[in-house]
Structure 1
C-alpha cells in the first residue's frame, strides 16, 4: 500500500459561538461569493456565591467566502444560534485609521442545543411544506419480531 503517513494532530482553528444579530448579506459574483453579518456573543461570569451573572452582550463582524458563504446563506437567518470555525483578522481602515477585527468563517453549523433543528431535513419545515399537504398516517403499535421456537428441547452437553 502506498499510504501517506497521517498527521496525528487535528486541525485546530478558532471557534465562534453566538447568534446572528443582523440579516446575513450575501454579495459577490459567481465563484467569489461573500457573506457578511453581525453576530452577538453572550458573556457570563460567576459570583462568589456560585451564581451566574450575565455580562453585556458583545457584537462582532462575521465574514465568509466561497463554500462557507453559500452554506451560511442557506442555513442562517437573523436570530439563529450558530457555531463557526475560522480565524480572526485585524485590519485598519485607511480613511479613518480605526482598527477593527472580524471573524472569517470557514464552516458554519447550528447550535442544536438551542435550535429546533432536525439533521437531514429542511430547517424551517413550516416554510417548506404547503398547509394543505396530508401527512401519511403512522402506526404507533410495536410488534416484536417472531422468533422460531425449536420443536423440542435439546439436552445440555457437558464439557
Structure 2
C-alpha cells in the first residue's frame, strides 16, 4: 500500500501547489484587468483629454469615434477575460458557460464596425500575423479566426444573386 500511496501523495501535493500558483497568477491578472477596466471607464468619460492612446485612436475625427473605440476596447477586454477563465477550464459547467461567451464573441465579430476597429489596429484580418495585437495569443488566434469567418460571410451576403 505504501508503494502505491507515496507516489500518489507526492503527485497530489505537487498538483495542489501548481493549482495554488496558477490561482495566484490569475488573481494578479484579475486585479490588473479590473484596474484597466476602471481606467477605460474614466477615459470614456473624458475622451477629450487625449489620454487614451491605443493604435490610431488619437487621430479619430470625432468624439463619437473615440467613445466607440473605447467601448470596443472594453468589450474586447471582457471577452479576453472570459476566454482566459472559461475556454481553458476543464470544469464542465465552465465549458457550458464558454459556449455562451463564444456566441457573444461571434455576435461581435459579425458587427462591421467591430471588424473595422480590429483592422484599424492590426491591418486586414485576412493577413494578420500572430502577435499583431496586445491580447493573449490564444485569444487573438480565436478572434482572428472568428473575424475572418464573419468578414467572409459579410462578403458572401453582399454578393449579388445571379
Q: Same fold (TM over 0.5)?
A: no
Higher strand share: 1
User: Structure 1 length normalisation: TM-score?
Assistant: 0.23
Point out which structure has higher relative CO (alpha carbons under 8 A, 6+ apart).
1
Larger Cα Rg: Structure 1 or Structure 2?
A: 1
